Amino acid sequence: DAKTTQPTSMDCAEGRAANLPCNHSTISGNEYVYWYRQIHSQGPQYIIHGLKNNETNEMASLIITEDRKSSTLILPHATLRDTAVYYCIVRVVEGNTGKLIFGQGTTLQVKP
Amino acid sequence: DSGVTQTPKHLITATGQRVTLRCSPRSGDLSVYWYQQSLDQGLQFLIQYYNGEERAKGNILERFSAQQFPDLHSELNLSSLELGDSALYFCASSVISSSYNEQFFGPGTRLTVL
């Protein structure tokens, strides 16, 4: 699985959009970008994933650059409950057992 | 609530002891994963089972073992415990053994070794 680079920490004002970047310059054509988050020692929670098209669900949007070397997770209207560690994971889907390899992630602090 | 249950929530024991952590996956999920989260190592994949059989192994120590039973619940056994084994242990489940499916994590078991 390709290596990812994320900022260690970020702040965001409550009600504003939180944009979390992830660099994955060595990503292969068959690797997907996944995002999970962990709220204060709770079990990680799946957010969204994508291959090359932008994706949106009820939690967030995922923007992947055209060369797929980086992506941005967008929380459109951040709330205090979005304060968490956000993990960007790049992994092959086909033929993979499904295990997740977590990096250090980005600690997002949403401030009132 | 993810639908994955883990017991116990907290466990305090002494060095050299043996403990068993239990996980019940979401209804219908065949795959179970175990992860360890310590302060210095972060979240690390330990082992995966799919429908009763071991499917993938990560950084799991020889002192640790796991199994998945016919009713699909799983147990992680930790023996000859050391201070460094103190950590949060998470179980996750997914429908099948594939990267495509999202994993649902339980609330974790906090193990403290004194």
A17: contact with B, CB 8 A cutoff: no
User: With an 8 Å Cβ cutoff, are B56 and A97 in contact?
Assistant: yes
In this prediction, residues A65-92 reach a mean pLDDT of 95
Name the percent of chain A lying above pLDDT 90. Answer: 77
Q: What is the CA radius of gyration of chain B?
A: 13
State pLDDT tens for residues B47-72: 999 999 999 999 899 999 999 999 99
Q: Which residue of B has its CA nearest to A44?
A: B105
Closest CB to A43: pick one of B44, B90, B100.
Answer: B90
- Between CA A64 and CA A51 the distance in angstroms is 8
User: With an 8 Å Cβ cutoff, are B108 and A49 in contact?
Assistant: no
State pLDDT tens for residues A26-67: 998 888 899 999 999 899 999 999 999 899 999 999 999 999
- Asked if A98 and B101 touch (Cβ cutoff 8 Å), the reply is yes
Closest CB to B99: pick one of A43, A92, A104.
Answer: A92
Q: Which residue of A has its CA nearest to B105?
A: A43
pLDDT at residue A1, as a whole number: 65
- Asked if B22 and B72 touch (Cβ cutoff 8 Å), the reply is no
Nearest to A12 by CA among A97, A80, A60: A80
pLDDT at residue B80, as a whole number: 98
